[in-house]
Amino acid sequence: MVIWSDRVFVEGRLTEAAISIDGNVIKDVVPGKCPKGTTVNLAGHRVIPGLIDTHIHGSADADTMDATYDALNTMSTYLASHGVTSFVPTTVTASEDNIKAALANVARTMEKGCDGARILGSYVEGPFLDAEHKGAHPEEFLQDISIEAIERVLDGSGGTVLIVAVAPEQPKALEVIEFLLSKGICVSLGHSSAGYEQAMLAVNAGANRFVHIYNGMAQLHHRKPGLLGAGLLSDAYAELICDGHHVAPPAVQIALRCKGPDKIILVSDCMRAGGVPDGDYMLGYLSVVVKDGIARLANGGALAGSTLSLDRALANYIEMTGEPFEMAVLAVTENPARSLGLYHKLGSIEPGKLADITALDDNYKPVFVMVDGDIKLDLRQPDNDMSDFRK
């Protein structure tokens, strides 16, 4: 198969190029005019690596904590309709049994495969968090972190956990970070009251990302820069929710100015109400009310995830910052792939990498999506508009 466009994103710029695909792998990328025998002509569309959502709880009325194949497959199909080709299903704080069931289900689903976006592994967000900044995590299930507690949670996950969120002020946080890194698991810092020094100790120990920066942490103070200060100044990646509700545009600009375009990771943090009408939903054990697309806890009004899609996050990010597309797109492709140590096979269009391709129109909406060499969305075809998911 050969895909061509006059706006293929290769080596940091949009250019005319043909992408040759052999099975599920990109075989070659050849600059130039549209060659004879082109299978898919995407002229006028930005052709980019598939989007990667590394922090997502649910969508389309399905949730990671449902712990069923159908839930993850529904999320997978919804995500593909929004240009996402890989994702990391994310848990919330719950009983150990429920978290373990969700993680085991991720492992089983990865083995079976999904109809849309590919599952890369799971993200354990809780229970090793701080009560003061728990957000939409039920306090009764929070617990102190230890190697023993981590081993219990990971048991049955089949080695598929990719990220664990940690509040670095916990007494055993540093030894647990070392343990997780020895297992090839990334550590994300957040939902925390940690001071700047505590956070930097965790970064120096190997934590490489911050959970949705600005949210779930004390705000910056000129004498107490805290976790947020560490997130802005360190070399670690910063997750960012660009829905216009979690973080104001000037704060998005500040994060970009501090981190640079290669350390921002756009995430959806979407819960099950993504892509479905406003109403009453559950996020783990907590009741959530969604109004005007904004998800808040029913018992207090705190934000409870989002209904954001990653293609919309990219559009918002560009609008909020004025960042050139060629730089902004890194936050949904190369940066998440690098943060997980998967850039050797994901995150760019080049020979030898998986054939994960997304084409965007001028409004940054997907018109064509390929996962592993299989076409999942092609809006040039009237019978493949996926209108049920593109709301």
Q: How many CA atoms lie within 13 A of 2 on its CB side?
A: 14
Residue 390: per-residue pLDDT = 46
The residues pairing with 317 across neighbouring beta strands, listed in sequence order, are: none
Which residues, 6+ apart, have CB-to-CB distance to 28 below 8 Å? 19, 20, 351
CATH topology of domain 49-339: TIM Barrel (3.20.20)
Sheet order of strands, 84-89 included: 51-56, 84-89, 118-119
Low-confidence ranges of the chain (pLDDT < 50): 387-391
pLDDT digits (tens, 9 = 90+) for 76-97: 999 999 999 999 999 999 999 9
Residue 382: per-residue pLDDT = 54
Sheet order of strands, 286-291 included: 279-283, 286-291, 294-297
Three-class SS of residue 286? Answer: strand
The CA distance from 17 to 5, in Å, is 6
pLDDT digits (tens, 9 = 90+) for 274-299: 999 999 999 988 899 999 999 999 98
Tokens 């229970």 belong to: 127
Domain boundaries along the sequence of the chain: 2-47+349-378, 49-339
pLDDT digits (tens, 9 = 90+) for 219-254: 999 999 999 999 999 999 999 999 999 999 999 999
Same fold, 2-47+349-378 and 49-339: no
Residue 380: per-residue pLDDT = 75
Secondary element (H or E) of residue 196 = helix 196-205
The CA distance from 7 to 33, in Å, is 11
Residue 389: per-residue pLDDT = 47
Three-class SS of residue 338? Answer: helix
Which residues, 6+ apart, have CB-to-CB distance to 105 below 8 Å? 67, 68, 69, 72
To the question of pTM greater than 0.85 for the whole model, the response is yes
The CA distance from 208 to 70, in Å, is 32
Q: Which of 63, 130, 269, 378 is catalytic?
A: 269
Tokens of 30: 């050849």
Residue type for position 225: P
**Does the annotation mark 269 as catalytic?**
yes
E-assigned strand segments in 73-170: 84-89, 118-119, 122-124, 161-166
Tell me the backbone φ, ψ of residue 188, rounded to 5 degrees: -115, 135
Tokens of 222: 């000129």
Give, in words, the CATH class of 2-47+349-378: mainly beta
Residue 135: per-residue pLDDT = 83
Residue 387: per-residue pLDDT = 47
